[in-house]
Amino acid sequence: MAAMMQPQIILLKEGTDTSQGKAQLVSNINACTAVADVVRSTLGPRGMDKLIHDDKGTVTISNDGATIMKLLDIVHPAAKILVDIAKSQDSEVGDGTTTVVLLAAEFLREAKPFIEDGVHPQNLIRSFRNASYKAIQKVKELAKSIEGQSLEEKKRLLSKCAATTLSSKLIGGEKEFFASMVVDAVGAIGDGDRLNMIGIKKVPGGTMRDSFLVNGVAFKKTFSYAGFEQQPKKFLNPKILLLNIELELKSEKENAEIRLSDPSQYQSIVDAEWNIIYDKLDKCVQSGAKVVLSRLAIGDLATQYFADRDIFCAGRVAEEDLLRVAAATGGTVQTSVNNVVDEVLGTCEHFEERQVGNERFNIFSGCPSGRTATIVLRGGADQFIEEAERSLHDAIMIVRRATKNSTVVAGGGAIDMEISKYLRQESRAIAGKSQFFINSYAKALEVIPRQLCDNAGFDATDVLNKLRQKHALPTGEGAPYGVDINTGGIADSFANFVWEPAVVKINAINAATEAACLILSVDETVKNPKE
């Protein structure tokens, strides 16, 4: 009786929403599966694209898992974890963003019946971690190295990796054309980690085939004043002066006060202003530079002054372009024109201003330090060019990763099927419930080849059965077999050059398992009320 009289303890603020237990975990799993269903159909070379229209009216057409996940304004707290792993996969490896979301959701989907039957989530988590460790060891075992090849051979292999990445994108039709371009661009920046040294400029109009690679820097012609057209537009081996100052006639600051006893002194003050700017311009000319670029404005007086002396100038150059010119030409950006020595001037073999579509571009090629490249993209619609840029970013990341960690695995769902078979065999040697859990982890890995078939319109069950049979061969010759997108059968992915860097798979399995374990380990959600 006394127990019934106990007052109710109010711990949380009124309006706080708490949900816990099994139902809460199942609801989180359902939310993650719903998110994966959005990007599911974008996987692979026959994947569909998504058109996302945001509140500002911007329209984005994309096939890239990370881009779609970013643009979907997901509010469910557990499902947000999938957005984070897609972003981390994008920044770490560049490709495999859809894969990682699908895998995480599939691991959860496989775990759901066990949770409903009352299995403790920690048992699942332990088995999943164990399975992922074994899977990653197996990927490393199956990976083939492309080290020690000749430069030509290595380029060919890298462009195969880039082509595999590009085949699932909008520009997949021209994948060979862009793959070789990407390999050249990554080759140009050398071992440097700085991806911002590869500039991508977009010019609407023309066809994709009109895109080209500049071994150096290219940027759009900046705003210019009268006198600009009289400047020469082409130089061989010019010296290049890079500035971060304004070359404009500046009147004295508004709050300055000058007292004159004699009106004739006024002229000397006006002259002083003119002398300051002329002095600056003289010093630029004396430096011997033939191309003057500044981050700030170069006024009409300066433009005309340089034109009379056969010097090309451009003001208001974007900072990233200026830094790329500095890196490529070996120059240093100056904040003053006093004592400009030869060491701070850059140089390049060839400078010209060229018409690209309806834009004019300033192009610096044949740069001595050469650690930069610019891809100029052409195409019909703006959204199309935007998507092409995102696709190239993925390909650039992949090629860079493949040059650093030079091991590749068979794509097209081959590696997933092989790990799945291996884990199934391993699980039989484990006593206890863990055998079920590792088996379900193995089954979840089959989502990749199954989805590739579904997206291409093939019978997934049929193709997966063929794959299972091939991978089960005791000789191990079936290991590189994956889905053949063109015929709807199965084919040797290695022989067909469907390759991806091993690091993509390792990262995807790692991130997806982490995310699945994280969601499984949550047993209560508390939502505080808005103030």
| Secondary structure string (H, E, C) spanning 119-141 | CCHHHHHHHHHHHHHHHHHHHHH
Q: Which of 90, 321, 394, 492 is catalytic?
A: 394
Reference 414, options 468, 344, 367; nearest CA is 468
How far is Cα 58 from Cα 52, in angstroms, rounded to an integer?
A: 8
Give CA–CA dist 289/291, Å, rounded.
6
The residue to which tokens 């077999």 are assigned? 481
Our measurement of the distance from residue 207's CA atom to the centroid of its chain's CA atoms, rounded to an integer in Å, reads 23
- Catalytic residue at 262? no
Q: For CA atoms 415, 423, 125, 28, give the dihedral sign.
A: positive
Facing residues of 149 across strands? none
User: What are the structure tokens assigned to 28, written together?
Assistant: 């989180």
Could you give the strand order of the β-sheet that contains 212-214, starting from the edge strand earlier in sequence?
198-204, 373-379, 212-214
Q: How far apart are CA 423 and CA 137, in angstroms?
A: 11
Q: Which of 377, 46, 362 is nearest to 181 (CA)?
A: 377
Q: Which of 83, 91, 4, 128 is nearest to 521 (CA)?
A: 128
Exactly one of 33, 97, 99, 513 is catalytic; name it.
Answer: 97
Structure tokens at 203: 């010019």
> Is 60 known to be catalytic?
no
Choice among 67, 98, 347, 374 that is catalytic: 98
C-beta separation of 143 from 38 below 8 A: no
Helix axes 97-116, 447-456, angle to 10 degrees: 120
The candidate with the shortest Cα–Cα distance to 22, out of 105, 123, 115, is 115
Residues in Cβ contact with 367 at an 8 Å cutoff, skipping those fewer than 6 apart: 215, 216, 217, 328, 329, 330, 346, 348, 349
Is 308 considered catalytic here? no
The CA distance from 256 to 179, in Å, is 59
User: Could you tell me which residues come within 8 angstroms of residue 203 by beta carbon, excluding any fewer than 6 positions away?
Assistant: 356, 357, 359, 361, 376, 377, 378, 385
Would residue 394 show up in a list of annotated catalytic residues for this protein?
yes
Q: Rounded to an integer, what distance in angstroms lies between the CA atom of residue 213 and that of residue 185?
A: 7
**Which residues sit opposite 525 in a β-bridge?**
19
Tokens of 509: 């399995």
Q: Choosing from 42, 64, 90, 347, which is the catalytic residue? A: 64
Element at 483 (helix H, strand E): strand 481-483
Instruction: Tell me the three state secondary structure of residue 150.
Output: coil
Q: Using CB atoms within 10 A of its CB, is residue 359 exposed (0-12), middle (13-18) or buried (19+)?
A: middle
CA–CA separation, 94 vs 355, rounded Å? 32
Tell me which residues are annotated as active site. 64, 97-98, 394
